[in-house]
Amino acid sequence: MNQSQKQRLEEIFRKNENIGIAISITGSWGVGKTFFWNSFLKAQSIKEQERKYLPLSVRLKHKSFFDKKYAYVSLFGIENLSDLKAAISTNMSSNYFNQESTKNFEIPTFIKKGLTALREVKLTSSEYGISSSARIFESVLYAQVKDAIICFDDFERMSNKLDIKDVMGLANQLKLERNCQVVLILDEDKAEGENKKKYAEYKEKLIDETIKITSVEPLIRANTKDIDDDLVNLMIKFAEELEIHNFRFFQKVIKLYSQFLDQLPKVVADSTKLIILTRILQGYFISDFGVKYDFQWEDIQLVLEDNQKDWSERKVKTYKALQNISYNFIHSDVWLSEFKKWFDQVDELDFGLLKELASSELISEKNNDYTKSFHAITKKFWKLQADENFPKDLFEITKKVIGLENLGNISFAIKLLELFGHSDQAIELECITCEWIHEQMIRNRRSFIGINQLGEIRPVFEDYIEKFELSSEHLPILVDAVFKIFVNGAGSSEDELSVEKANKQQWKELLFIQILQDERFNDINSSYIVKKILERPTASNFKASFRTMITEIYEEKGKESEFYKNYMDYLITRLEN
């Protein structure tokens, strides 16, 4: 779209080559209005370079509409009309695209800026009593401002001390009296209070043509030269579907995407890049626009339309937009869990896990094909394209993606099978999934913490996770668990469970043998460990049973001799206190 707007802008300049005109380039904040203007100038520069190879007679006969002086003026920091005129004068230069313009008659820029710097300096001579202001130079410089292209930018950052009617009035004067072609770059919606009212009044009188910029696509493409085309197109589609017209949002996305990619192996599968970009887009979208668009992390899941009845109109629209962009935006996985940590700032993101994921079976080509097929078949359901083979196909592909897709997506697939009356297949998938959950829990009991935030999980899976108990053979050794928790201060949930499940014999060996023999406990005695366990916040029933068990261990030790009886009786009194 911006290309056609550039062509239209060029036509406007050509039709008004020797006529004063005012053109506004409008659009929302951050959409790329200044970028559009600068890229338009760059395109004209290329054309000027090409004109150099034409004969002089041809160049003189067919002049470029850009054979003019040019000034770009940012309104940021300008506080009065005098400063604005000075800015125009000092920024005015020969057309830097065309070496044959009025360069020989131009006062060098460094001289103009030097003279302007003396505006407030008084020139005084005691001998002749002459007192004059250096401001006279402004008049000399400003007199040269005619038959020029002048661009005013940064209206949104304009000082409150500068009245917009003065700016518009000066622009009108330049247009009518100085035969200038004036370009105003602004966001009409950003003008506030009286300035907005005054702009509306002057707009009808001043503005002859308007170019409206509505897409950030050119800016995205210009800043993603080293990113795959498919990923660039994904960002553009994301911007269009969700009507995000601020490039600053995509600047953050592109920067974080590059940072994450730097943490991973040099060779990364295309599917991994897609996952990373998708999760970053989701994260910043929820962070920046979650409230406005009524969409949060827990909404990233497959939801039947019947279950959307209580949703707000805005939330339904957001969900459908994300669905249209890619089904990846309404699917959650292990990657999503890790990226959510980064955006929520509640836990340290595990780059080690991301590296493992990037080179694991989860993203092998075979598994990528399975997940694509799973997404494709669920997409058929949403698009009302499911046929009689749908339940069978869904069952077969869901079996293959257990462990690849998250529990929310697996739960959704099982729900669909129940919906179509295939209860036996639904039960079979539940059993296979529970076996996978068991394997994951053995590896890491924290695997499914916070899983309910990322989709609707079937109760059978929630119960299995909640009631899962590791057998002692899968738990860390007691002495190691005690060291990590009570000495190192960095124990895991498995270490906590090892402490809670240890029997009396294990504690007896720890207190009277293992701690004495382990160099890690050189400066720590066993009674100190017992004290720390009892002081540490934990389930009250554990503390009571632990105190009873240690008391029994001390009493049994006390039976060995009179010495040990007195020694253990003392330790028991400490337990009671």
pLDDT attached to residue 150: 93
pLDDT attached to residue 235: 96
CA–CA dist 116, 94 (Å, integer): 19
pLDDT attached to residue 128: 43
pLDDT attached to residue 125: 46
pLDDT single digits (tens) 157-177: 888 888 888 899 999 999 999
The mean pLDDT value of the chain amounts to 81
Confidence of residue 421 (pLDDT cuts 50, 70, 90): very high
Indicate the SS3 state at residue 101. coil
Q: Which residue has the higher pLDDT, 526 or 131?
A: 526
**pLDDT (mean) for 381-395:** 90
- Helix, strand, coil proportions of the chain in percent (round to 5)? 65, 5, 30
Q: Is 104 left (phi over 0), alpha (psi -120 to 50) or beta?
A: alpha
Asked if residue 215 lies in contact with residue 2, where contact means CB atoms within 8 angstroms, the answer is: yes
pLDDT attached to residue 445: 63
**pLDDT (mean) for 74-100:** 77
pLDDT attached to residue 131: 38
Asked whether residue 414 carries a pLDDT value surpassing 90, the answer given is yes
**pLDDT (mean) for 386-398:** 93
pLDDT > 70 fraction of the chain, expressed in percent and rounded: 79
pLDDT > 90 fraction of the chain, expressed in percent and rounded: 30
Asked whether residue 122 carries a pLDDT value surpassing 70, the answer given is no
Structural domains of the chain, with CATH: 2-106+144-214 (3.40.50.300), 215-363 (no CATH), 386-468 (no CATH), 472-576 (no CATH)
pTM over 0.95: no
Asked whether residue 479 carries a pLDDT value surpassing 80, the answer given is yes
CA–CA dist 344, 290 (Å, integer): 13
**104-108, 244-248, 459-463, 518-522: range with lowest mean pLDDT:** 104-108
pLDDT attached to residue 381: 87
**pLDDT (mean) for 3-18:** 87
Q: Which residue has the higher pLDDT, 351 or 318?
A: 318
pLDDT attached to residue 500: 83
Asked whether residue 20 carries a pLDDT value surpassing 50, the answer given is yes
CB neighbourhood size of 508 (10 A): 18
Contacts of 40-47 with CB under 8 Å at 24 or more apart are: 40/6, 40/9, 40/10, 41/97, 43/6, 44/10, 44/97, 45/97
Task: Please give the torsion angle defined by the CA atoms of residues 282, 227, 232 and 212, in that order, rounded to the nearest 10 degrees.
Answer: 110
Q: Which segment, 361-365, 460-464, 505-509, is predicted with the most confidence on average?
A: 505-509
CB neighbourhood size of 510 (10 A): 23
pLDDT single digits (tens) 496-507: 878 888 889 999
Asked whether residue 420 carries a pLDDT value surpassing 80, the answer given is yes
Q: What angle do CA 18, 23, 28 make, to 5 degrees?
A: 160
Asked whether residue 558 carries a pLDDT value surpassing 70, the answer given is yes
Cα-flanking dihedrals φ and ψ of residue 97, to 5°? -85, -20
pLDDT single digits (tens) 252-310: 999 988 888 887 777 666 777 888 899 999 999 999 999 999 999 888 887 777 788 88
**70-74, 209-213, 214-218, 261-265: range with lowest mean pLDDT:** 261-265
pLDDT single digits (tens) 400-412: 999 888 888 899 9
